[in-house]
Amino acid sequence: MDVNIAPLRAWDDFFPGSDRFSRPDFRDISKWNNRVVSNLLYYQTNYLVVAAMMISVVGFLSPFNMILGGVVVVLVFTGFVWAAHNKDVLRRLKKQYPTAFVMVVMLASYFLISLFGGLMVFVFGITFPLLLMFIHASLRLRNLKNKLENKMEGIGLKRTPMGIVLDALEQQEENIGKLTDYINKVKE
């Protein structure tokens, strides 16, 4: 699998004035989901840089707990994705309610990390960066370049780390999913 790192977007594009942000339509969950997925794919390297800075600060203050927290979250996420891949009930739950699926992963991780006493590291080093990513991806309006890049990712012209994670969660923009299904049928 050929994985490419998405380019770092200009910071004035990533976080400009309030004219580029808008409250999502909470009544149209599908449209909101498309906005989040699109922004996660487009700004993934920017999100990685922001998360790395936060993780570095927390890791500097408590390195053992940060490593332990990261390992626990990765193992729990991998376990849940594997279980959802092998059980149809969990697979449907993951596809229909991706936020609930991620929340269950985070709650299971929270419980396991609390057993080891690294609770504050979990909150500030793992949960807070994820929350900031979700808030930004929910509020940031998409532009034409953003949509074009995501279509290229969706039809398999480019594979990125965030695309792989979103594939594991079975989340993609609706139009991209339809286009990918059509391309796969044509190939057969």
pLDDT of residue 19: 63
- Report d(CA 154, CA 178) in Å as an integer: 10
Contact 155, 180 (CB under 8 A): yes
φ, ψ of residue 102 in degrees (nearest 5): -65, -40
Q: What is the mean pLDDT of residues 93-112?
A: 79
Contact 172, 30 (CB under 8 A): no
Encode pLDDT of 45-98 as tens digits.
Answer: 888 898 889 888 888 888 888 888 888 888 888 888 888 888 888 778 777 777
What's residue 139's pLDDT? 87
Residue 173 has pLDDT above 70, yes or no: no
- Chain segment 119-169, per-residue pLDDT in tens: 777 777 878 888 888 888 888 877 666 666 656 655 454 577 777 677 766
Q: Which pTM was predicted? A: 0.67
pLDDT at 124: 77
List b or e across 17-49, with b for residues whose CB sees 16 or more CB atoms inside 10 angstroms.
Answer: eeeeeeebeeeeeeebbbbbbbbbbbbbbbbbe
CA trace torsion 133, 87, 180, 143 (10° rounding):
-10
- Please answer whether residues 14 and 46 qualify as being in contact, where contact means their C-beta atoms are separated by less than 8 angstroms: yes
115: pLDDT strictly greater than 70: yes
